[in-house]
């Protein structure tokens, strides 16, 4: 009995001792678990494109939808709606001066109607600030002549205000076309004969070769020869006012 118990103890001792070593070797053969790496932060997503003014392309509008209210630029995927270009209103200046015509005054406008005279040159025209001071003229060839125009009546601000006078000459062959334009504001029923001031305008011709010319002034036509001496160099001396 004693030897059987001793043998049994030896057997138990042989079976239990090797287990720790086998477990240790098993642990050595087991691959190590990979180290856990911290994950990188995710990149921020791009902000969504603004939707103001950008809309998906749509089918063309019906023919009876009327004119578009904006301009559209499209690349087949998106279309950009642009606002209409607003055209500023056209400014039209008033034909009258500020504050005119005043109450009790009327606008005077004359076209190719004021007195007209011809002078040998600009110096001769300057000697006659009024039509009654015009003297005979000796006209020469191959030099510019000077046409002079005069206000139709006495210009005194008590009766006639803001006078303006223009004239110019165009040549068409042997015809000299003289044009004039006069404007003012006339006090109704007034008649001034004193303290008048001169209102004149001169317009030169091109150099004229010797010969006969026609002078066309409005609806009137006159004959003019160069060179010559004119005792009465005024074609029109008086005119009646017309109001528009």
- The structural domain count of the chain equals 1
- 192 occurs within a structural domain: yes
Closest CA to 201 of 111, 87, 125: 125
E strand or H helix at 234: strand 234-236
- Please tell me the predicted confidence (pLDDT) of residue 10: 46
Q: Is residue 190 part of a domain?
A: yes
What pTM, to 2 d.p., does this model score?
A: 0.59
On whether the CB atoms of residues 233 and 198 are closer than 8 A, the answer is no
Cβ-contact 115, 244 below 8 angstroms: no
**Which residues, 6+ apart, have CB-to-CB distance to 199 below 8 Å?**
150, 151, 155, 163, 165
Residue with tokens 């005194």: 156
C-beta separation of 135 from 230 below 8 A: no
Alpha helices (runs of H) in the chain, residue ranges in sequence order: 2-16, 19-29, 122-126
Asked whether residue 11 is assigned to any structural domain, the reply reads no
What tokens does 43 get? Answer: 């990149």
Does residue 189 lie in a domain region?
yes
pLDDT in tens, the chain (244 residues): 444 444 444 444 444 454 545 444 445 545 555 555 555 555 555 555 544 444 454 555 544 544 555 566 666 666 666 666 667 777 666 677 777 888 999 999 999 999 999 999 999 999 999 999 999 999 999 999 999 999 988 899 999 999 999 999 999 999 999 999 999 999 999 988 888 888 999 999 999 999 999 999 999 999 999 999 999 999 988 655 444 4
210 inside domain: yes
> What's the pLDDT score for residue 125?
96
Are the CB atoms for 238 and 115 separated by under 8 Å?
Answer: yes
Identify the pLDDT of residue 44: 56
Burial label for 192, CB within 10 Å (0-12, 13-18, 19+), is middle
Q: Which domain holds residue 167?
A: 105-236
Residue 148 domain-assigned (yes or no):
yes
Whether residue 49 lies inside any domain: the answer is no
Of residues 151, 116, 74, the one with CA closest to residue 230: 116
């Amino acid at each position: 009995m004693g030897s059987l118990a001793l043998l049994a103890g030896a057997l138990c001792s042989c079976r239990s001792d090797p287990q720790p070593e086998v477990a240790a070797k098993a642990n050595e053969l087991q691959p190590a678990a990979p180290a856990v790496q911290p994950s990188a932060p995710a990149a921020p997503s791009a902000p969504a494109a603004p939707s103001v003014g950008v809309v998906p392309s749509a089918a063309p509008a019906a023919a009876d939808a009327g004119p578009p209210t904006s301009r559209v630029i499209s690349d087949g995927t998106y279309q950009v709606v642009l606002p209409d270009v607003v055209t500023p209103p056209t400014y039209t200046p008033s034909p009258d001066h500020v504050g005119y015509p005043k109450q009790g005054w009327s606008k005077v406008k004359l076209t190719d109607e004021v007195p007209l005279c011809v002078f040998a040159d600009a110096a001769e025209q300057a000697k006659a600030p009024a039509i009654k001071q015009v003297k005979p003229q000796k006209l020469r060839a191959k030099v510019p002549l000077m046409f002079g125009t005069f206000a139709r009546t006495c210009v005194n601000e008590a009766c006639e205000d803001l006078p303006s006078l223009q004239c110019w000459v165009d040549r068409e062959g042997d015809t000299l076309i003289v044009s004039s334009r006069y404007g003012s504001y006339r006090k109704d029923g007034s008649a001034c004969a004193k303290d008048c001031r001169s209102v004149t305008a001169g317009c030169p011709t091109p150099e004229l070769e010797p010969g006969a010319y026609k002078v066309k002034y409005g609806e009137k036509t006159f004959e003019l020869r160069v060179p010559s001496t004119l005792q009465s160099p005024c074609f029109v001396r008086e005119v009646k006012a017309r109001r528009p």
